[in-house]
Amino acid sequence: MQTVTEPQTQRAPPGFWRRLVRSPSGLVGLSIVLLLVFCAAFADVLAPYSPTKMGAGGRFLPPGGKYLLGTDEFGRDMFSRILYGSRITLLIGAVAVGISLTVGMLVGMIAAFRRGWIEAILMRGTDVLFSFTETLIALSFVAVLGPSLQNAVIAVGVAGVPFYARTCYSAALVETSKPYFEASIAAGAGPARLVLTHLLPNVLPTMIVVATLGVSTAILAAAGLSFLGLGAQPPTSEWGYMLAGSRDYINRAPWLMTIPGLAIAVTVLGFNLLGDGLRTSLDPVERK
Amino acid sequence: MWRFLGTRLAMGALTIWITTILVTLLIHAVPGDPVQIMYAQSQGTTPEQIEEVRRSLGLDRPIPVQYAMFIERLLHGDLGNTIRGGQPVLDVIMQRLPNTLILACAAMFIAILIGVPIGFLAAYREGSVVDISLMVLAIAGISMPHFWLGLMLLFFFALELGWLPVSGSGPLNLILPALTLGLSNAAIFARLTRSSMIDVMSQDYVQTAFAKGLPKALVLRRHVLRAGLLPVVTMMGLQFAFMMGGTIVVENIFSWNGVGRMAVEAIFQRDYPIIQGFILTFSVVVVTVAIVIDALYAVLDPRIRRA
Amino acid sequence: MNALLSVRDLAVRIGTRPLVEGISFDLKAGEVLSVVGESGSGKSMTAKALMGLLPPAATATGRAEFDGADLLDADIAPPRGTGIGLIFQEPMTALTPVLTIGLQLTEALVSHEICDQKEARRRAAAMLDRVGIPQPEMRMRQFPHELSGGMRQRVVIAMMMLLGPRVLIADEPTTALDVTVQAQILDLLREIVAETGIGLILITHDMGVVAEMSDTVLVMKSGQAVEHGPVTRIFKSPEADYTRTLLDAVPRIDAATEQAETKQDVLLSVSDINKTFNGRGPHLFRRHGTRALDNVSLNVRMGETLALVGESGSGKTTLGRVIARLTEADSGKIQLNSLDLTACKGRRLRAARRQVQMIFQDPYASLDPRQTVGHTIAEPLIIHERLPRSERNERVRQLIEKVGLEADMARRYPHEFSGGQRQRIAIARAIAARPSLVIADEPTSALDVSVQARILDLLEEMKRGEELTMLFISHDLAVVRQIADRVAVMRHGKILELGSTTQIFAAPRHPYTRALIDVVPVPDPARKRGVRPALKGSYPAGPLVEASPGHWVAS
């Protein structure tokens, strides 16, 4: 506390990372995500076998023993496939969210900042696309471009744009109507200054939360497409695709179904929890 | 209220109109010659036949003319014929659409029936062990891929226990797909209901109701629930659209004979008329439901009803 | 006579942290007790403890004897509604939006089994009539959003009085209302006390309301009772230092005004400004616009403080924003010195903005939370003056010190500062680039009185030191009287009267101005006034005519 002319000075809140780690969801989420990043980064070191090497020890070996998570219908090591799959999954999440975030923020910020007819066109268009739902947009894209992992990721990324644009737009709109923003206009600030020093830093926290939660959605959507056969193609160790393949052996080797599904669920849970944790720790106002 | 509904109706019409444009353009966005691609899988198609198809689809004309043709056919209820089998697309879709709608509605029903009470209970016991465990359950539910949940349910209830059929289209067959779709969305409803109720419970008007000496049950039932459910209702339209998207995957898992399964098959077979028809149908359904939900909301919220 | 309610050593804690401590008072029938204090004094907590409406984490100890039972005894159901009623500050949120007025009025009568539904409706209608709501039957079928703020507060009062409580707690019941409406609600409460003999606990921060309403006063600060006694004694010879500071800080509408000599050079000339706000939405379904400014013309002289006064919806804020070019007028001209502000666009406008700066009402939203305070203050300098960094930092240091803060605070972020400090920072930013006009839009309305007094002093000081010309927008006539040289009274987008502060307050000519001045509660119990007639009927709202030198009145 410092000496001041008036009482009621608030104590500086603890730093962002401390707050994040103190919230249970933030801590668990961050741990899961870090673990995933670790797995993805060191997949080739951690994996005991090649994810594509077939039939070495036998097909349909149950989990435990030499093959930690068992083997699949071609005798590939499930543990190694899951490890390599984390790489693909994180990449899918990052690229898809990258597309949604970049385009969405651009649209949202321009609409909120320019107002007038540019705003009307951009936001009405976004509303229309939004009511299309992400699934339909993604499916239409794959229908046009043809099934492949790359196309699925692009499709999921594009499908997310309306949501990101809307969120960014409303967050930016809130900021532009606040007195501090108007004070800056009244001080004579130009568009570049307004956007870069005031709008962007204040919208960013919201968008970081949205993007973190969005990684979950993107991973789920892409895995869904792969599950339908519209995304990753053989012999990729993509979790959704692995799950689709397990259907034929559901009686004989149920672990082929449970393991990739669990991997997706834990990953998605990790990003969801991290997003929730970020939401509370990035926004000092919500902390009470 | 009429102004509110009028705006929504106009937005819906705009959405469908834009869909028709996008659907016409869709076929041109395909890399390569769409007609060639469509027939690539069937052998023995002569170049004459291909030209014939091109003409019948209007693909040899300029795009605005194609669009006009498309709209004209559409107004006559003609969505073209399927590439495989040559059936009218509208018939193929209409045959399957009821199945999809039944599935989506059943799932919606389950989601609301489970999600809303859970959310209410969690809000009522905010901060308690009950609340925390329910919300952990909800976030786990949101994180669970529904295609995985579907497979697991299939595995346990149909294969291991043998209680329910694996696939087909009877009433018993509805249970598993509806549960799959309903459970993951119940989690979303639970979270939404909880935050809305917590928000309402901290409002002055709830305190005022208590200050009048009303019993807790009455305050919750009359003041909290009515006001707190409004945001949930607004989200229902969006949730339904979400469900419709979910049906595509779930129908494929349980071999449910709906439009979603049809669409995925059509994508594999490059049957563009079906894909076009599917996209159009999907958006009409979603827009219609959204308008119905908006109307419901307008009736429920006096601030809109009497504005 | 015995006390209705007798509170001894009331304390409220969350965990081990005390929020309220050692509160004791007696309330007799027909008595009005004011609990007065600034924000954070624990006055609302005290009310909630008596109602048994504390948040679950909080616990109350002590005794509060009412009707032979202890209100703080957790085992006994509190006599909510039937014994003690509670009225909240915000009438806009005190009624459930989705239920009819009628249901909300009658439900407690039915639930307490006082009478059946039919009788309840009859009683409710009679009570609405009593609290001054015409056409009660029709109103009961309506929903809260269809009533104005003042009406809703009447409904809440009716709702509580229907249950026949013997004590009524009103928590800032008029703070959210305009002064004219406030006067009516206060009159109503006073009548109710006189008629029914209930005890009223009035929680407020406004010393004027205290003086006007109460028999006894309890002054609170930081959760503790500072002083307790009869109202006349508290105002005449306050014992506690805090009470004295509080009383000294209150701006008086009945204070003498010192007339500064006014220069005649016009700095800002506003002519024929019109502004209509359109409803949002697609054209086809757009609502009719509301006329915010209706042919407004005004001159601001060099070095003076001109106050724009009016109630909500008067257009005073819109006018300020139009002059600052934050809102575009539909028509009209704004001329600053020789510069036509309305004609400026793009780069020229940005350069011209240096001349006009704004101070906003909300100290929390008016500073960018992600910029250091130093950067916020430096912004106008960065934009308009190319200074070397060291020189700029020096200027910022000087500015911070000038507004009464410490220079090393420049590196801190807004959330580390209190409301008053933030408003100081906003003032520093406003004067940084040496503008010729500062527009202050309700700069002290969100602050406690003691802080307000110091901010007003600072503005006064700045005005003298920097030779500032100021447009001061406020709803608070007492504040205006203290700070303004000239006053413009606005209503419904028009200026109704314009003159020197002395002319406006000592010899108001327009009936609306007179009504407005008349309804402001004066912090002097000796000047308690009776029921005031509300401004009714039509009043002149035409073009301004000079009634005496420099005194203009709508014709």
Report the candidate in B129, B111, B128, B287 with the shortest Cα–Cα distance to residue B193.
B111
What range does the domain containing B235 cover?
98-257
Is A59 in contact with A71 (CB distance < 8 Å)? yes
Of A131, A230, A243, the CB nearest to B15: A131
- Contact list in C for residue B307 (CB cut-off 8 A) is 145
- Contact list in A for residue B30 (CB cut-off 8 A) is 144
For residue C39, give every residue at least 6 positions away whose Cβ sits within 8 Å of its Cβ, in sequence order, or none. Answer: C205, C448
- Residue B284 sits at the chain A interface (C-beta within 8 Å): no
- Contact list in A for residue B18 (CB cut-off 8 A) is 128
Of A5, A7, A201, the CB nearest to C370: A201
Q: B220, B236, B257: which is the final residue of a domain?
A: B257
- Residue B244 sits at the chain A interface (C-beta within 8 Å): yes
Report the candidate in C78, C249, C93 with the shortest Cα–Cα distance to residue C165.
C78
Q: Please judge whether B208 and C98 are an interchain contact, meaning their C-beta atoms are less than 8 angstroms apart.
A: no
Q: What element of type H or E holds C344? A: none
Furthest CA-CA distance within chain A: 79
Q: Please judge whether B212 and C88 are an interchain contact, meaning their C-beta atoms are less than 8 angstroms apart.
A: no
Is residue B38 in a domain?
Answer: yes
The chain B residues in contact with chain C (CB within 8 A) are 3, 6-7, 10, 203-215, 218, 222-223, 226-227, 230, 300-303, 306-307
- Contact list in C for residue B10 (CB cut-off 8 A) is 282, 284-285
Q: Are residues B53 and B162 in the same domain?
A: no
Q: SS in 3 state form for C30-41? A: CCEEEEECCCCC
Is residue B87 in a domain?
Answer: no
CA distances from C87 to A161, B286, C124, C142, C167 (A): 47, 45, 17, 20, 11
Q: Please judge whether B227 and C156 are an interchain contact, meaning their C-beta atoms are less than 8 angstroms apart.
A: no
Question: Where do the domains of chain A lie, and which CATH numbers do they carry?
Answer: 23-54+83-287 (1.10.3720.10)
Q: Please judge whether C80 and B213 are an interchain contact, meaning their C-beta atoms are less than 8 angstroms apart.
A: yes
Least confident of A217-231, B118-132, C272-286, C318-332: C272-286
Q: What is the mean pLDDT of chain B?
A: 86
Is residue B6 in a domain?
Answer: yes
pLDDT tier at B255 (50, 70, 90 boundaries)? confident
Residue C91 burial (10 A CB sphere; 0-12, 13-18, 19+)? buried
- Residue A116 sits at the chain C interface (C-beta within 8 Å): no
Is C478 in contact with C449 (CB distance < 8 Å)? no
Q: What pLDDT digit, counting tens, does each position of C69-90 carry?
A: 888 887 777 888 889 999 988 8
Least confident of B166-170, B273-277, C448-452, C527-531: C527-531
Has residue B32 got a pLDDT over 80?
Answer: no
* Chain A stretch 134-163, residues whose beta carbon is closer than 8 A to a beta carbon of chain C: none
Instruction: Give the residue, C287 or B5, on which the prediction is more confident.
Output: B5
Q: Are residues B141 and B75 in the same domain?
A: no
Is residue B264 in a domain?
Answer: no
For residue C318, give every residue at least 6 positions away whose Cβ sits within 8 Å of its Cβ, in sequence order, or none. Answer: C275, C292, C293, C327, C493
Q: What pLDDT digit, counting tens, does each position of C350-398 carry?
A: 999 999 999 998 888 999 988 999 999 999 999 998 888 999 999 999 9
What does R_g of chain A's alpha carbons equal in angstroms?
23
Q: Are residues B14 and B135 in the same domain?
A: no
Confidence at residue A10, expressed as pLDDT on a 0 to 100 scale: 40
Confidence at residue B303, expressed as pLDDT on a 0 to 100 scale: 83
Q: Are residues B66 and B141 in the same domain?
A: no
CA distance A115 to chain C (A): 13
Among C280, C284, C416, most A C-beta atoms within 10 A, so best to mutate, is: C416
Q: Are residues B150 and B186 in the same domain?
A: yes
- Contact list in B for residue A227 (CB cut-off 8 A) is 145, 147, 249
* The domains spanning C5-249 and C297-324+343-523 adopt the same CATH topology: yes
- Look up tokens 């009679």; give the residue: C126
Is residue B303 in a domain?
Answer: no
| Percent of chain C clearing pLDDT 70 (strictly above) | 94
Q: Are residues B140 and B104 in the same domain?
A: yes
- Contact list in A for residue B22 (CB cut-off 8 A) is 140
What letters, b where the CB count within 10 A reaches 16 and e where it falls short, cover A228-244? bbbbbeeebbbbbbbbb
For residue A155, give every residue at least 6 positions away whose Cβ sits within 8 Å of its Cβ, in sequence order, or none. Answer: A137, A138, A139, A140, A141, A142, A145, A225
Q: How many CB pairs under 8 A join A and B?
A: 122
Report the candidate in C183, C306, C266, C222 with the shortest Cα–Cα distance to residue C43.
C222
- Residue A183 sits at the chain C interface (C-beta within 8 Å): yes
- Go through chain C and tell me how many residues it has: 555
Is residue B89 in a domain?
Answer: no
Integer Cα distance of A179 and A169 in angstroms: 18
Is A67 in contact with A57 (CB distance < 8 Å)? yes
Is B192 in contact with B200 (CB distance < 8 Å)? no
- Contact list in B for residue C282 (CB cut-off 8 A) is 7, 10
Q: What is the CATH number of the domain that holds B219?
A: 1.10.3720.10
Is C442 in contact with C361 (CB distance < 8 Å)? yes
Of B29, B245, B249, the CB nearest to A136: B245
Has residue C513 got a pLDDT over 60?
Answer: yes
Superfamily of domain C297-324+343-523: P-loop containing nucleotide triphosphate hydrolases (3.40.50.300)
Confidence at residue C257, expressed as pLDDT on a 0 to 100 scale: 61
Of B208, B218, B307, the CB nearest to C94: B208
Q: Are residues B103 and B247 in the same domain?
A: yes
Is residue B91 in a domain?
Answer: no
Q: Are residues B41 and B124 in the same domain?
A: no
ipTM score for this prediction: 0.85
Confidence at residue B60, expressed as pLDDT on a 0 to 100 scale: 74
Confidence at residue A286, expressed as pLDDT on a 0 to 100 scale: 37
- CA-angle at B59, arms to B58 and B60, nearest 5°: 90
Q: Are residues B236 and B123 in the same domain?
A: yes
Confidence at residue A69, expressed as pLDDT on a 0 to 100 scale: 79
Q: Please judge whether B152 and A257 are an interchain contact, meaning their C-beta atoms are less than 8 angstroms apart.
A: yes
Q: Please judge whether B140 and A269 are an interchain contact, meaning their C-beta atoms are less than 8 angstroms apart.
A: yes
Task: Tell me the DSSP string of B9-29.
Answer: HHHHHHHHHHHHHHHHHHHHH
CA distance B169 to chain A (A): 19
Q: How many domains does one find in chain B?
A: 2
Has residue C262 got a pLDDT over 70?
Answer: no
Confidence at residue C530, expressed as pLDDT on a 0 to 100 scale: 57
Closest residue of A to C417, CA-based? A9
Q: How do the domains of chain C map onto residue ranges?
A: 5-249, 297-324+343-523
- Go through chain A and tell me how many residues it has: 288
Is residue B262 in a domain?
Answer: no
- Residue A127 sits at the chain B interface (C-beta within 8 Å): yes
Integer Cα distance of C139 and C125 in angstroms: 9
What string of pLDDT tens digits covers the 288 residues of chain A?
Answer: 233 333 333 444 557 777 788 888 889 999 999 999 999 898 888 877 777 777 667 777 777 777 777 777 777 888 888 889 899 999 999 999 999 999 999 999 999 988 788 888 888 888 888 877 888 889 888 888 888 999 999 999 999 999 999 999 999 999 998 999 999 999 999 999 999 999 999 999 899 999 999 999 999 999 999 998 888 888 888 898 888 888 888 888 888 888 899 999 999 999 999 998 888 887 654 333
* Chain B stretch 92-151, residues whose beta carbon is closer than 8 A to a beta carbon of chain A: 139-140, 142-145, 147-148, 151
CA distance C86 to chain A (A): 26
Q: Which CATH class is domain C5-249?
A: alpha beta
- Contact list in B for residue C97 (CB cut-off 8 A) is 205, 227, 301-303
Helix locations, C364-471, DSSP H: 373-384, 389-402, 419-432, 449-466
Q: B234, B257, B280: which is the final residue of a domain?
A: B257
pLDDT tier at C199 (50, 70, 90 boundaries)? very high
Report the candidate in C468, C525, C124, C69 with the shortest Cα–Cα distance to residue C305.
C468
Q: Is the peptide bond before A191 cis (omega within 30 degrees of 0)?
A: no
